Amino acid sequence: MPFVNYPLREISCKIVYYGPGLCGKTTNLKYVHAHADRATRGNLFTLDTAAERLHYFDYLPLDLGAVWGFKVRMQLYTVPGQLLYNATRRLILGGVDGLVFVADAQRVRFDANVLSLDNLRDNLSAQGDSLQEVPHVFQYNKRDLPDVAALEDLRAALNLHGAADFEASARDGSGVFEPLKAIARKVVTKLLRTGACPKIDVPPPESASVPIKSWPAAAFRRGALGGRPARPIAPLSAR
């Protein structure tokens, strides 16, 4: 669930990159961090496990605009790919607002993708969620390599709900920012549509007189995710 910080006038949303081991989750995060505006990104943190490293940082995509005057900050996480770290996966999934499922497009990794997606469904179910309810997109990574599965086969096996999907080569940055932009907009759109009431760390200031439940209409009038923006916003550049 999003977290509202009134002193900073920010809403923090949690985005998790999920997928089988060595599919490119970490490569995605490293590329985003390296090419994001230094002024809008946090430090990239690494947690070591016996076989993999987990990465996370926060990031302020300015092209999202504002939700009733609040900037939307994205907290980006990877999960360990190996199934033996499933307890860590579940921990990281706690409170997730959006998912990027990174599939390895190589034919030899086809079954690993399906197994990882089934594991994601199980872990979401364990915390009372489902893939249909959590905003998500798919990235078919490593499309630059030889002997990759057909795009139609990957979609038929993985993208059962018709979510937005993208071909990518995270190694050179192709198709890295597009799924991030898409999931960020999906998360904010759900927040506006549902009027979800995030945890509030301090009481709102007197000027914040509009209740969260009325954000959808108010935010769209002010230009969030379309229309005339409430304030000038800088485009997100994938340099």
Percent of the chain predicted with pLDDT > 70: 79
| Pick from 136, 145, 142: nearest CA to 170 | 142
Report the share of the chain in percent with pLDDT over 90: 63
Calculate mean pLDDT across residues 225-234. 31
Average pLDDT over residues 47-55: 74
Please report which confidence band the pLDDT of residue 63 belongs to, taking 50, 70 and 90 as the band edges: confident
User: Between the CA of residue 18 and those of 10, 87, 93, 128, what are the distances in Å?
Assistant: 25, 14, 9, 18
Cα(55)–Cα(39) distance, integer angstroms: 19
Instruction: Write down the pLDDT at residue 53.
Output: 73
Report helix, strand or coil for 199: strand
SS3 160: coil
Residue 192: is its pLDDT beyond 90? no
Tell me the C-alpha distance between 47 and 62, whole Å. 28
Report residue 39 as tokens.
Answer: 């002024």
- Superfamily holding 3-222: P-loop containing nucleotide triphosphate hydrolases (3.40.50.300)
Closest Cα to residue 71, out of 81, 63, 79?
Answer: 63
Are the beta carbons of 110 and 73 closer than 8 angstroms?
Answer: no
Task: Work out the angle at residue 21's Cα, subtended by the Cα atoms of residues 55 and 34, and round it to the nearest 5 degrees.
Answer: 35
Pairing relationship of beta strands 98-104 and 53-59 according to DSSP bridges: unpaired
For 88-125, the pLDDT digits (tens) are 899 999 999 999 999 999 999 999 999 999 999 999 99
pTM for the model: 0.82
CA 48/CA 16 separation, integer angstroms: 17
Give the model's pLDDT for residue 101.
98
DSSP string, 26-92: HHHHHHHHHHS-GGGB-PPEEEE-SS-EEEEEEE--GGG-EETTEEEEEEEEE--SSGGGHHHHHHH
Is the separation of the CB atoms in 113 and 154 below 8 Å?
Answer: yes
